Structure 1
């Protein structure tokens, strides 16, 4: 029914849509968000944004300008509809499950094909029911729920599953809290996660002025499941994911006392109005520790304007925080790199080695409540030990709605498409040969992520130039790989890669298949593969 793209993957999606030969998208709604590469380090990002704006106007796609907010949070706020399907060129697209959508992340070519009117195919999933009982206690939040589930299920072995949330505890969680949980379902490796659509969903959609799109969605009373997991919200404690994997889980109190250098709140996981208001409430009349660099990035312009209007933004600033742009930013290594060997406490969803922009930094994933506790004390601290009262945040009866930063188009076929010099064409592959003959070009271990294969951060600005971007394939693992692979390709030998368990974790970035294809990789042998990367490898003939 719907698609979403963001600028890091979206430029290639729309180049592929052009190559398919489609003038206007066939979906009910397609939205092109600019939220990843908004640091104008050179002309490349600005040129990509200009291209995306022009192709959106031509193809009948909604364009969301930089600064409007992060795609997943914005989509839940302004476009998410219970019972609709959403395919997105970003692995955290399942955030939409918080509002009752069947929201699935996919590679760019699959999203381009969907916009062109083709169906999206997937193996019918097994279903894990997660039963939530009880109610979260003060200083324990939705982030702790999903960190607990990551401790139980880990990041590997869950391909082919969908997580469905149920139980009396569901009704105690707001839509943004549910979206936090479904967002980090991506780290489990499941196809998607989904909550029922209930009165809580209706209240949220009323407050957004979109109640006409609401419908009830719930599981049948006699539904059967492949697995059932029960989490008692009453017993849950503040949790923390240690470097360098989201499933390296401990209780915060188990690691308390470690000195902290940087604290960052935001991302598509924890940038909601409720998150930012809790941060403001805990910071009121407090001061950030003098040795901590503390930044807060509201997840959308809607949230930023609301906390500015009610005075909460002033409380955050007065406490010593830096206000960051409402974009992905630090989560993808686009700014805010920690100091060397630094300890960075963050509310985002991934802590892979080097993803922050600093290879030897340690990234720790926590809730906003725990992040504030660390910022105030200068060390890892359980927020229950601060001695502060927990702020009571009222759910808004009406959100501030201003859609002027969306550019709507019904499709204008005569629109001129604006291309900068960094924007190339999608690479053309050859048929997979009957015989693969070459050499083992690289051997890697377990949990190889798409960031290992195709680094993001400041390299991501080359995403529209496959020849250039390909020169950085596996740069964090073996900087000589790209030259070695290209030499093999040029002499007619195929490149073969061998890996361990859970190969291709993380981002849906299809460049992690497209660029190896460009270098002549024809085969990857691993003990297990993650879902989106598997599809991308197949799409690009590996």
Structure 2
């Protein structure tokens, strides 16, 4: 430990006959002042600074600034935070390992030792984003989907197997095991971490960053963690601190208890709506109040998971008896549980009844006020009560432009010799999927019990519904089996399809061919209902325009109903075998039934499933990989290619200069997500990426998804801004990834236009509205932007992760000021722009000037705020990006 320990805070703690060294917050408080009312999430940050105090990246002034937060409840001070570990999933993990391999190649080329490039912090990569729902509603679905996954992803998995062998401090959880966040909650997370060094064992809070925005789920276990882009995570792995401002902390007080029939999903959608309305982007949220005493850990994890949806950096739950109970249930060693209790009580991190920390601001919810809810049709914060879903669907549909020639409200289609009628509002996908809810036994058991009661009444799912069950870990299928519920879910078509994210990340797989044709022929507006956390347009399936987040039992209910135009609060789901209408209330399980089923969940299940978590099945173990320390790149690979980012790393970086004679690549509106920017989901045959794959001999059936090809920059840069739902105002808001190449007036794919501009040496700018970069922490949203030649993004506001990723890739984030925006400035995309003020000394939050030459030759200008927010980011930007900064220091 590098600690200077200027406050003399190092102490020892005896637990279970073992001595631990730790940096004591109560001892530090003797010089910093009373810390009792400091939010517990900030106490974790303060301990981190105490432990890493070195008079270089952390000094005594940083400690005083964090303690002084109690007076101001906010701070503009930048601190250097070092998480204990890094978590990755394979979509973001593959490009990170590609970058590490490219960095090793660059070091070797420069004459250095490639083994200098190794993670310095422990890294766990969980392969969970690659399984697709190709097969479903069949007992063979799981095995067949795994087989297809291994065939599709052989190159990627061989590459990860190489990385597992080549890098120190790097573990891989093989496919078919679970979702990274649930594996983290059930196995990897410890709440209190330990490290042996210099003959001592140090204890400190478990903290992490992850390459998936839902890393925040682990905050339910009292572990401070949040999502960062792959770029930032790679830097953290390589020993760079995470540079951040001391955050504002919003307190969220919970009181009371949930009513009968109300689920954790209903609660989290309510919390999400409240916090989005409050405005918590870039802030910590910390939950407190005596309502926590009745909130199971799985419910806490469900709420913490959705932090990206309510916009916060994290949603933190303090440690208490419920935390300890979960650690024991999930099979953590008793010595770990005892250490967690002793350490958290010694440090003031333990939740006591009636505690009221001080917060920047606070809001409150009586759990008894929560009602049954969904969120949709295209944003997770748009909560709709169950009885209002049909009206919300109709309101959305009324606003949609319709093709006069093709639109009908219903159409017949044939399948298996039968004729079925498909209508607007039809639920074509019903998926129990994603980390949010599949980690929660109460909502999962409720789904199984509802399936049982539905079958007893004689109900079946509608034939046009593609149903699937993709739990976050194997423990779920163990407890379904123990509770005797598997057979009922199977009978309704909710057979196991895989352990992974599936539908929530766009891996829903194809619909039946006649259904896809019917949707297109009649231009139907159909629906998906999923238990996930993301429902952005174009994400779940390209033909499904409305997507609704719901609890697992409601997913099953909508599969029975077959339409979101039914009011499940009062309309029957169908007709029972006795000829009588069956209502949702008739089959909804009671709290007692759910509680009895939950009793079947036991510690032995966790021990069984996590005993050999890193081993994988025979197919995984059979993958042959070279033992080389530098990767042998395959020129003909369409999955893994040597990226161009570090080609000139041995040369001095070019001096930061003004951006001259830039053209606008696209003008975008509000809430442009990283799904809109970064390639995600299916690869269209006639897209630039599709043409590239075809030219390289890949059959359309083998295109796979963009996510699976994140290790190939050629595919990814062609797919940047190629989302079928992105709207470029340069084309009047037309959907699809096209733009106008202004000098010629040609309408082109954004990639094709960017390449034409690159040939002419023309720098590019993106113009956008509010909340640019909302959504998942997709590093390719920044990498692809960089490779297209975009030098700056000018937006009204940025989502936290994407802004830092742009800086990390050397792209300048700029913000409109003084209430100005693209429309008030009449920016059409036809302008030529100069960005002035970069030639001098670059500083955080400096004002820059944008000079505008209009299409008619007239000139004017406007000011923008430079959203390089910290001094560290200035250094990264000057080096050409964060990884360039790290690599140059090593070379």
Q: Give yes or no for the alignment of 1:25 onto 2:119.
A: yes
Shift of 1:282: 1.4
Give the SS at the match of 2:254: strand
Q: Indicate the residue corresponding to 1:442 in structure 2.
A: 666
CA–CA distance in structure 2, aligned partners of residues 26 and 441 of structure 1: 39
Paired residue for 2:676, among 442, 452, 455?
Answer: 452
Displacement of 1:283 after TM fit? 1.0
2:182 corresponds, among 73, 76, 96, to: 73
Task: Tell me the CA shift for residue 278 of structure 1.
Answer: 1.9
Change (3 A) 1:369 1:137: farther
Cα distance change on mapping 1:156 and 1:237 into 2, 3 Å: closer
Q: Does the C-alpha gap of structure 1 residues 73 and 461 become closer, same or farther in structure 2, counting only changes over 3 Å? A: same
Equivalent residue number for residue 506 of structure 2:
333
The answer to which of 54-63 and 201-210 deviates more is: 54-63
User: Is the contact between residue 633 and residue 642 of structure 2 (CA under 8 Å) also seen in structure 1?
Assistant: no
CA shift at 1:93, angstroms?
Answer: 0.5
Q: Is the 8 A contact 1:238 1:370 kept in 2?
A: no
Q: 1:277-322 deviations in whole A, cap 9, x for unaligned?
A: 2211111142433343322211112222332344321221123323
Q: Show the counterpart of 1:387.
A: 586
C-alpha distance after superposition, 1:417-466 (max 9, x if no partner): 57552312333276474021211111000000011011311222321111
Partner of 1:64: 173
* Alignment of 1:191 onto 2:313: yes
1:312 aligns with 2:435: no
Whether the 8 Å contact between 1:276 and 1:298 is mirrored in structure 2 is no
TM-score, normalising length from structure 2? 0.58
Deviates more, 1:169-178 or 1:105-114: 169-178
After superposing the two structures, state which structure 1 stretch, 395-404 or 268-277, moved more. Answer: 395-404
Mean alpha-carbon deviation: is it higher for 472-481 or for 34-43? 34-43
Paired with 1:489 and 1:505, the residues of 2 have a C-alpha distance of 28
Match of 1:49 in 2: 157
Compute the displacement of 1:219 (Å).
5.9
Query: What RMSD over aligned residues (CA atoms) do the two structures have, in Å?
Result: 2.5
Instruction: Give the aligned partner of residue 361 of structure 1.
Output: 545
1:465 counterpart residue number: 712
Q: Quick check: 2:250–2:280 contact (8 Å CA) kept in 1?
A: no
Provide the residue aligned with 1:212 in structure 2. Answer: 335
Answering whether residue 304 of structure 2 is matched by residue 182 of structure 1, we say yes
Aligned residues: 538
CA distance in 1 between partners of 2:722 and 2:655 (Å): 26
Aligned-pair CA distance for 1:323 = 2.2
Contact 2:444 2:553 survives alignment (8 Å): no
SS in 2 for 1:323: coil
Change (3 A) 1:350 1:98: same
SS at 2:436 equivalent: coil
Q: Equivalent residue for 2:561? A: 377
2:476 match: 303
Counterparts of 2:656 and 2:151, CA distance in 1: 39
Displacement of 1:235 in angstroms is 1.3
For 1:187-246, what per-residue CA distance to the aligned partner results, in whole angstroms no more than 9, with x for missing partners?
Answer: 122111111111111111111221433324346845211121111111110111112111
The residue that corresponds to 2:887 in the other structure is none
2: CA distance, partners of 1:117 / 1:481: 36
SS of the aligned residue for 1:190 comes to coil
What residue ranges of structure 2 are gaps of 5+ in the alignment?
Answer: 1-83, 105-113, 133-147, 192-204, 392-424, 520-524, 571-582, 617-625, 647-652, 682-704, 727-736, 739-748, 812-891
Are the equivalent residues in 2 in contact too, given 1:150–1:247 (CA < 8 A)? yes
Q: Larger Cα Rg: Structure 1 or Structure 2?
A: 2
Tell which deviates more after alignment, 521-530 or 391-400.
Answer: 391-400
> Deviation digits for residues 385-439 of structure 1, max 9, x if unmatched?
422332323353425123323149xxx9866757552312333276474021211
Asked if the contact 1:238/1:382 (under 8 Å) is kept, the reply is no
1-side partners of 2:657 and 2:335: how far apart? Answer: 54
Given candidates 398, 406, 411, the residue that maps to 2:614 is: 406
Contact 2:462 2:559 in 1 (8 A): no
- Structure 1 counterpart SS, 2:86: strand
Q: Structure 1 residues 208, 405: closer, same or farther in 2, change over 3 A?
A: same
Greater mean deviation of Cα atoms: 526-535 or 41-50: 41-50
Report the Cα distance in structure 2 between the residues aligned to 1:490 and 1:249, rounded to whole angstroms.
47
Deviation readout 1:96-127 (Å, 9 max, x if unpaired): 11111111100112111211222112121111
Query: Alpha-carbon deviations, 1:311-361, whole Å to 9, x = none?
Result: 321221123323221111111111345654321111101111100122442
* Stretch of structure 1 that moved more, 299-308 or 4-13: 299-308
Describe the SS at the equivalent of 2:468: strand
Counterpart Cα distance in 1 of 2:544 and 2:428:
13
Q: Tell me if structure 2 keeps the 8 A contact 1:256–1:382.
A: no
Alignment-derived partner of residue 686 in structure 2: none
1:43 and 1:432 map into 2 onto residues whose CA distance is 46
In structure 1, what is the Cα distance between the partners aligned to 2:675 and 2:483?
Answer: 39
Of stretches 83-92 and 206-215 in structure 1, the one that deviates more from structure 2 is 206-215
Closer, same or farther in 2 for the Cα pair 1:25/1:41, shift >3 Å?
Answer: closer
SS at structure 1 position matched to 2:260: coil
**Per-residue deviation, 1:57:** 2.5
Distance 2:123 2:257 in 1: 37
Change (3 A) 1:501 1:431: farther
Equivalent residue, structure 1, for 2:280: 158
Number of the residue aligned with 2:365: 231
Change (3 A) 1:336 1:252: farther
Look up the match of 1:490.
759
Within 1, Cα distance between the matches of 2:709 and 2:602? 43
**Within 2, Cα distance between the matches of 1:348 and 1:432?**
45
CA–CA separation in structure 1 for the residues paired with 2:379 and 2:240 = 35
The superposition leaves residues 246-277 of structure 1 with CA deviations (integer Å, 9 ceiling, x where unpaired) of 12221111225865333111211111250322
Aligned equivalent of 1:283: 451
Aligned position for 2:859: none
Q: Is the 8 A contact 1:345 1:365 kept in 2?
A: yes
Check conservation: 1:4, 1:88, Cα contact below 8 A.
yes
Which structure is higher in RCO with an 8 Å CA cutoff and minimum separation 6? 1
Q: Distance in 2 between matches of 1:441 and 1:293?
A: 38
Indicate which of 113, 128, 148 corresponds to 1:35: 128
1:424 aligns with 2:641: yes
> Shift of the alpha carbon at 1:16?
2.4
Helix, strand or coil: the match of 1:9?
Answer: helix
- Counterparts of 1:218 and 1:337, CA distance in 2: 48
In structure 2, the residue corresponding to 1:164 is in which secondary structure? strand
